[in-house]
Amino acid sequence: MYNNKLGKVKASMIKERKDIRNVAIIAHVDHGKTTLIDGMLRQAKIFRSNQKVQERILDSNDLERERGITILAKNTAISIPDPETGKLIKINIVDTPGHADFGGEVERILNMVDGVLLLVDAAEGPKPQTRFVLKQAIAKHLKTIVVINKLDRRDADVDRSLNDTFDLFIELGAEDEIADFPIIYANGIDGTSGDTPELTDDLQPLFRSILKYIPCPKVDADAPFQLLVTNLGYDEYSGVTAVGRIQSGKVKSGQMLARIKHKGEVETDQARYLYVFQGLEKVAVDSAEAGEIVTIAGLKNIAIGETLADPENPVALPVIHVEPPTVQMTFGVNTSPLSGIEGRWSTSRKLSERLTQELRTNIALKVEQTDSADMYLVSGRGELHLGILIETMRREDYEFQVSRPEAIIITDENGIKKEPYEEVHVDIDTDHVGVVVEMLGTRRGKMVNMVNNPDGTVHLSYIIPTRGLLGFRYKFLTATRGMGTMNSFFHGNDVLADKITQRQSSSIVARASGMTTTFGCKNAEQRGNLFVGPGVEVYEGMVIGESQRPQDLSINVCKKKHLTNMRQSVRDLDERLTPPRDMSLDEMIEYIGPDELLEVTPKNLRLRKRILNTHDRGRHNKTERYDED
Ligand SMILES: Nc1nc2c(ncn2[C@@H]2O[C@H](COP(=O)(O)OP(=O)(O)OP(=O)(O)O)[C@@H](O)[C@H]2O)c(=O)[nH]1
Ligand SMILES: [Mg+2]
């Protein structure tokens, strides 16, 4: 029921749109969501027969391809014939990221769909993020089809994976209707599926199951228009576009709309272009009705979470809820001696504009002013969430400096200080159990479970303060020789744990600015592991290595060998230098000490002391030692 402009009350007419299904694919990281969509697109014949199609086609941005993970949720659509009527039915499919740091994407995407495909790797069974995404789907009463995927894996254990999945539904309190889920078995790589583990030759069983079990949208197309902007897309002509499901009513291309912003302000704007999804393309349409997922282009600075509505009836849809951020770091103007050389955008204004722009799409992110005009406090869902933003900005030619990530401490309604805790799950070889248990223990982790996996490895689960996990991943991988896997997700806020000793090592710091020399590096490497080799431009106060001593050490790595002693060739020395440790951005973010910053430019990443001048730093921090030259 609603009031139309004449003030009359009209009974709403809910009708089923049998021509559409809206479904999201959700799962733990790497359980095969994007690969399965490749198969669905291929078999719905959206490619030309001779078209070369790359794997995981929806993972289209550079960072997604490089890291092999989905970061942003994406829409696509296929049309398949209804087995009963032969009529084409459109399936809007939304791919979602599986990594816990991007859980915010999944939470909001579920607002667009009527059901989900929950993928479970047949060998791994349900994992921590399976639980998180299923919990979201259950909370929204979404019909769930369980897809036991990767049946081809030699270590697949279909019965166990299915039983564990069923237990998970019960544990999460799914109502009977949802806990009684249909099951499809699949091999996403081959594009085969079945109603039983005996797979057929294609994905028809999966398609049939979607048509049968995912409810069609039940909507009122005669009510005033309402759409919640749930995702943003990009259009060559008009830039950023709004993506969302028409909740009620109709929209026409070119029509005037009310835009209800986050704080409730209402503006009038025009839906210049209107598109629907078809395969990997967007197709322009003149109009669309409730139940369909559309893209609207031409709305300036549109942001996720705004409602687009009928100008005569501008009623906002409920705001999108996402879990709060847990980790924060500062983003500031680059103050290193090399600032302004390597990046195009480096001013405080540019940095502020870029971060503000990010807030429109990245809704789990928060940006606040600090006391300094040149520095912003940026909060996110984890180190990877913030790391991806840093990497994206440096590729867009920004340069800036960031501080070490810190867990966000909150004060609850009773005035008690609380910090975020995470549930951590690790799978490791038996040999590494001792060292990992010790590492997690010193970080104030509490073990909640320890079981032997069928493959001989051990599964440990812990509740641990987020603070204890910062900087942990690299050490964990080193301790388990790269064989361990680790997943963590937000558990809740709780009272502050005791002190956690963060980094036990210290930094080797450049004492002078200039070009590093083989001689200088040779000298320095006796004190620890270097991050730079010879011939690298460094500046006073730049961190160039790590030592196991309790205090930092300043060394002149630009020192030249005295000319009288030139007999030994440079080559000889070069060969004897240990290769420097080449750290990725993620490792550097983990490494940054409390009195350090990371300088980020499109060309380089440099760790540095907050106070660059050696003597000033010495006065500030009496414990640092110099290596006298
Ligand atoms: N053996 C086997 N491997 C598969 C199958 N489906 C996907 N993979 C592999 O699993 C890895 C992850 O696949 P993706 O499709 O990227 O998984 P995802 O769930 O989209 O991952 P995120 O988006 O990062 O959460 C890739 O190396 C795929 O080749 C399958 O059916 N069998
Ligand atoms: Mg993916």
Strand partners, 20: 90
pLDDT band of residue 564 (cuts 50, 70, 90) is low
Indicate whether 570 pLDDT > 70.
no
191 lines ligand 1 (CB under 6 A): no
- pLDDT on residue 132: 87
66 CA from centroid of ligand 2 (Å):
13
Residue count (the chain): 629
Q: What percent of the chain has pLDDT over 70?
A: 94
97 CA from centroid of ligand 1 (Å):
12
Q: Give the model confidence (pLDDT) of 495-533 as tens digits.
A: 999 888 776 789 999 999 999 999 999 989 999 999 999
Strand partners, 282: 277
Looking at 429-540, which runs of residues are DSSP E strands?
Answer: 446-452, 458-465, 485-495, 506-510, 514-515, 529-530, 537-538
Angstrom distance (rounded) from CA 239 to CA 589? 32
SS3 of 346, please? Answer: coil
Angstrom distance (rounded) from CA 326 to CA 45? 43
Per-residue H/E/C for 371-438: CCCCEEEEEECCHHHHHHHHHHHHHCCECEEECCCEECCEECCCCCEEEEEEEEEEEECHHHHHHHHH
- pLDDT on residue 503: 67
Task: For residue 13, give the amino acid letter.
Answer: M
pLDDT band of residue 629 (cuts 50, 70, 90) is very low
Residue nearest to atom 21 of ligand 1 (CA): 30
- pLDDT on residue 11: 55
Q: What percent of the chain has pLDDT over 90?
A: 69
189 lines ligand 1 (CB under 6 A): yes
- Contact yes or no for 389/362 (Cβ under 8 A): yes
**Dihedral sign, Cα of residue 248, residue 250, residue 251, residue 255:** negative
Residue nearest to atom 24 of ligand 1 (CA): 69
39 lines ligand 1 (CB under 6 A): no
Indicate whether 565 pLDDT > 60.
no
Residue 207 CB neighbours (<10 A): 22
Which residues touch 280 (CB under 8 Å, ≥6 apart)? 41, 46, 57, 58, 76
**What's the whole-number mean pLDDT along residues 289-318?**
93
31 CA from centroid of ligand 2 (Å):
8
- Contact yes or no for 507/545 (Cβ under 8 A): yes
Residue 454: left (phi > 0), alpha (psi -120 to 50), or beta? alpha
Residue 584 CB neighbours (<10 A): 12
Nearest to 76 by CA among 93, 53, 97: 93
Lowest mean pLDDT among 25-29, 205-209, 373-377, 624-628: 624-628
Mutation test residue for ligand 1: of 28, 30, 70, the one with most atoms within 8 Å of CB? 30
- Contact yes or no for 236/31 (Cβ under 8 A): no
Lowest mean pLDDT among 111-115, 559-563, 593-597: 559-563
Indicate whether 212 pLDDT > 80.
yes
Residue nearest to atom 12 of ligand 1 (CA): 30
159 CA from centroid of ligand 2 (Å):
25
Specify burial of residue 541 (Cβ count, 10 A radius: 0-12, 13-18, 19+).
Answer: buried
Task: For residue 100, give the amino acid letter.
Answer: A
Residue 131 CB neighbours (<10 A): 17
- pLDDT on residue 181: 97
pLDDT band of residue 320 (cuts 50, 70, 90) is confident
- pLDDT on residue 625: 58
- Rg over alpha carbons for the chain, rounded to the nearest Å, is 27
- pLDDT on residue 67: 87
Angstrom distance (rounded) from CA 418 to CA 243? 37
Lowest mean pLDDT among 78-87, 116-125, 299-308, 316-325: 316-325
Indicate whether 624 pLDDT > 70.
no
98 lines ligand 1 (CB under 6 A): yes
Indicate whether 147 pLDDT > 80.
yes
10 lines ligand 1 (CB under 6 A): no
35 CA from centroid of ligand 1 (Å):
6
**What's the whole-number mean pLDDT along residues 596-618?**
95
- pLDDT on residue 505: 81
pLDDT band of residue 333 (cuts 50, 70, 90) is very high
- How many degrees, rounded to 5, is the angle at CA 184 between CA 183 and CA 190? 160
- pLDDT on residue 456: 84
Lowest mean pLDDT among 14-23, 298-307, 613-622: 613-622
Q: Give the model confidence (pLDDT) of 173-211 as tens digits.
A: 999 999 999 999 999 999 999 999 999 999 999 999 999
Tokens of 455: 């493959």
CA distances from 529 to 66, 345, 548 (A): 27, 33, 9
Angstrom distance (rounded) from CA 465 to CA 512? 39
User: What global pTM score does this model have?
Assistant: 0.83
188 lines ligand 1 (CB under 6 A): yes
Indicate whether 6 pLDDT > 80.
no
- Contact yes or no for 459/451 (Cβ under 8 A): yes
pLDDT band of residue 116 (cuts 50, 70, 90) is very high
